[in-house]
Structure 1
C-alpha cells in the first residue's frame, strides 16, 4: 500500500521531525520516572495521552487521507505497545496496560484535533514561493 502525503514543500523535514519525536518519546519512556510524577493524580496517564495526541496531530498534518491516518494511528498504537514491552524489560520501569489505553486515547484526541485549525500548522511553516 502506498502512502499519500500532503504536497508539502519540506515533506522530508516533517517526516524526519516526526521520527525524531517518536524516538524522543521512546527515550523518555525508558528513562527513570521523573520525581513528583506520582504526586499528580493520573499524571503519568495524562502525559501518555498528551504525547500521543501530539504525535498523531503531527502525522495527521503530513497524511490527510483517511486510510493514511488510520495507518498512522495503528502505527502509533504499536509504538505505545512497544514502549510498554520495553519498559517491562527495564528494571526501574514497569509495563502498565492503562498506559497503552492512555496512548490510544491520545491518538484519538490527536485525530480530533487534526479536524480543527491545529490540523494545518505545518502548512503555515511552509515557505511559499515568491509570486
Structure 2
C-alpha cells in the first residue's frame, strides 16, 4: 500500500511542481517564497516517509532517487518553459524534507514494532 501511495504522491508532486505557474490560481494555489520552501519540504518528507515504508531495504537508493528528482524539478523549472524559476534553496528544502520524512518513518516503525511485540 505504501508503494502505491508513494507513486501516486510522486506523480502529484511532479504535476504540481512542473505545472505552468499561470494555472496555479485556477487551482486555488498561490506560491510565495516562504510557502514554496515549506511546500517542497512537506512534499519530500511525505515522499521519503512513504518510500521508506514501501521499500524499507532501499533507503540509500530512495535518497538518491529523491535528491535527483528534486534537482531535476529545479532544472526543469529553470528552463523558462513553465514560467517558474530555478532555485537551489528549493532543493535544500527537498533534502531537509527527506531527512524529516525518513526520521518520522523510522520513529513510527520503531513505535509500531514495540507495540506488536509487546515492549514498553
User: In which range does the TM-score fall when normalised by the shorter chain?
Assistant: 0.7 to 0.9
Pairing partner for 2:84 from 93, 110, 113: 93
Distance 1:17 1:46 in 2: 21
Distance 1:60 1:91, change over 3 A: closer
CA contact (8 A) 2:2 2:53 kept: no
2:69 matched to 1:75?
Answer: no
Any residues of structure 2 matched to 1:30-45 within 5 Å, and which?
A: 30-31=18-19, 32=21, 34=25, 36-38=30-32, 42-45=34-37
| 1:49 equivalenced with 2:41 (yes/no) | yes
Deviations 1:5-49 (A, max 9, x none): xxxxxxxx54343222212111100121555432xx611101100
Deviation at 1:85, TM superposition (A): 1.1
Name the SS for the 1:104 alignment partner. helix
3-state SS of paired residue (1:112) = helix
1:123 paired residue number: none
* Number of residue pairs the alignment of both structures matches: 103
* Higher helix proportion: 2
Gap runs ≥5 in structure 1:
1-12, 121-131
What SS class does the counterpart of residue 94 from structure 1 fall into?
Answer: coil
Q: TM-score, normalised by structure 2?
A: 0.76
Question: Which sections of structure 2, spanning at least 5 residues, go unmatched?
Answer: 111-120
Partner of 1:10: none
